[in-house]
Amino acid sequence: MFYTVGEMAQLLGIAASTLRYYDQEGLLPFVERSQGGIRMFTEDDLEPLMLIGCLKKSGLSIKEIRAFIHLVQLGDASLEERLELLRRRREAVRQQIADLQETLSLLEYKCWYYETACQAGTEDVVRSLLCSEVPPQWRTLLEKLHPDSE
């Protein structure tokens, strides 16, 4: 079964223009074309297209993804190189997740801070709390924000 650009884009949850752009950038050498030049996507194209999207979301540039696609086309001779690239991306994404988790923790703390201040009608109530009086989930963060306090 063949899929149009629009149908494949819908399966992937991306804009059709994104697929056309990927094709213009040389990321889709595996996609067949009709005699009239129309892209004919198959179910077999779904996994490599998902990987391209994954690599893009992970922070790789189009140029770097194009180089990865080239490695794929080299076959087994490039297995180690592809594995290493994916390991590096995995580690970079793990670091991004850790950074975002830290950001989320600070936002959650600040929401608690302002919710408590709003209930009291003043920030003074929150500012006057000892570290031991702050809910346990915020103590480590509070100590990091104010290392000189108790």
Query: 66 CB contacts (<8 Å, ≥6 apart)?
Result: 25, 26, 27
Q: Is 138 a residue whose pLDDT tops 80?
A: yes
Q: What is residue 148's predicted lDDT score, i.e. its pLDDT? A: 74
Q: What is residue 69's predicted lDDT score, i.e. its pLDDT? A: 96
Around Cβ 69, how many Cβ atoms within 10 Å? 20
pLDDT digits (tens, 9 = 90+) for 76-114: 999 999 999 999 999 999 999 999 999 999 999 999 999
Question: What 3-state class would DSSP assign to 30?
Answer: coil
Residue 146: pLDDT band (50, 70, 90) is: confident
Residue predicted with more confidence, 147 or 99: 99
pLDDT digits (tens, 9 = 90+) for 26-54: 999 999 898 888 889 999 999 999 999 99
Residue 150: pLDDT band (50, 70, 90) is: low
Q: Residue type at 33?
A: R
Q: What is residue 144's predicted lDDT score, i.e. its pLDDT? A: 87
> Please, are residues 78 and 71 in contact by the beta-carbon 8 Å criterion?
yes
**What does the mean pLDDT of the chain come to?**
93
CA distance linking residue 34 with residue 94, whole number of Å: 41
Q: What is residue 149's predicted lDDT score, i.e. its pLDDT? A: 62
